[in-house]
Amino acid sequence: MGRGALTLFRLRGIRVGVDYSWFFVLFLVIFWLSNLFETALGVDDSSALPYVLAVASALAFFASILLHELGHALVAIRHGIGISEITLWLFGGVARMTRDTDSAATEFKVAIAGPLVTLAIAAAGAAVGIALAGSREGFLEALTLQENADVTGVEYAIAWLTSVNALVLIFNLIPAFPLDGGRIARATAWAVTGNRTSATRFAGTLGQIFSYVFIGAGLLLVLNDAVFSGIWLAVIGFLLGSAARNATAETRVTQRLEGLRVADVMDDEPVAIPDDATVERALDEFFLRYRWPWFPVTDEAHRFRGLLIRESADAVPEPERRTQRVRDVYEPDVSGTLQVSADAPLEALLGNEALRRLGGLVAVDRDGRLLGVVTIQHLGRALRDAGAVRAR
């Protein structure tokens, strides 16, 4: 949903981009705001001020959506969860985590971070708006877009940005998975029951209920001649219901893995390359012998440092392979996305992006020492075995 096609920039390795559908929404928002500001300011069609304010307000709004997603991303990264990209699209923004949260507390912190950022933006907008208007009454006039009021265009723009962020905050806190409010509901149920699967099923059910409410409300708006708003709300309800149903269906898979840890299925005799080994030794004794595409790299204390990819070793010129050390060419695991705790629940690997990309992850203990390697094959075997046991 909303996978971006156009990269804007990269922030700490996170690709920030926009889906092409975003430009459609940007055009609609600018067109709508231009008419809104023109009416509120009481100017004619020849004035460029409403258009300039509309463009600035629309871009500021989407910047606030980006800040909302960055709030999620920064908290996730702080808890060892990688973020592959942040994308603005037709219905807002999405931060793609490389794996799911592994505890109710982490789920709550990641989920609440975005709304807190939006709350801060709305509060800052209200403070600036009141200061510019000189009073709460003046800001209220700007907030309600009263015509012929003693309000400047900038005050109207700030008031609109404040109000739309307040609406985004309220909408996101609706307890419907996968909205932020739904994730908060899942975290709460998870903390109470201690069961991630039942908590996800509970939040997914709430999401489906609210999707029907949105679709019904959208149809009522259409019947009352608010066609565009009604269709928009109904489409949001449809997408929300689809995502909630997918999350609920996924619990039938995760339920099979309940009680299993990474340590229960991993290869506990991993082959690792010392970081002080030469590239020539790595190629001769490891890649040529085992025919694997990558190997974990460890230091003297057997702590995991990163992966040596076959292509990286092959790229070293042959005359330099006898002196070049593995520590100079391996891919360091700076973000922690190439490893997983051996004590982590196995279900936490479902949807792990690095696992899909590499076919395996390195399992470590609390001190970062290498304990094993868990692969997609291990995960698939565990699912099949668990399914066979439940079918008996």
Inform me whether the pLDDT recorded for 208 exceeds 80. Answer: yes
The HSE-up count of residue 123 (CA atoms within 13 Å, CB side) is 6
Could you tell me which residue, 229 or 200, shows the higher pLDDT?
A: 200
Q: pLDDT tens-digit profile of 267-303? A: 999 999 999 999 999 999 999 999 899 999 999 999 9
- Range of lowest pLDDT (72-76, 195-199, 251-255): 251-255
Residue % of the chain over a pLDDT of 90? 40
Is 185 within 8 Å of 203 (Cβ atoms)?
A: yes
Per-residue pLDDT, averaged over 88-107, amounts to: 82
Q: What domains are defined for the chain?
A: 6-257 (no CATH), 262-391 (3.10.580.10)
pTM of whole model > 0.95?
Answer: no
Inform me whether the pLDDT recorded for 40 exceeds 80. Answer: no
d(CA 236, CA 247): 17
Question: Which of 334, 358, 294, 332 has its CA nearest to residue 14?
Answer: 334
pLDDT for residue 5: 64
Per-residue pLDDT, averaged over 66-93, amounts to: 85
Q: Work out the mean pLDDT of the chain and round it to a whole number.
A: 86
Assign residue 102 a region: left if phi > 0, alpha if psi is -120 to 50, beta otherwise? alpha
pLDDT for residue 389: 47
Band of the pLDDT at 391, cuts 50, 70, 90?
very low
Is 80 within 8 Å of 340 (Cβ atoms)?
A: no
Q: Name the pairing type of β-strands 14-18 and 83-89.
A: parallel
Per-residue pLDDT, averaged over 166-178, amounts to: 89
Band of the pLDDT at 387, cuts 50, 70, 90?
low
pLDDT for residue 101: 82
Inform me whether the pLDDT recorded for 214 exceeds 60. Answer: yes
pLDDT for residue 147: 65
pLDDT for residue 117: 96
* Max CA separation in the chain (angstroms): 81
CA 159 to chain centre: 29
Band of the pLDDT at 388, cuts 50, 70, 90?
low
Inform me whether the pLDDT recorded for 1 exceeds 70. Answer: no
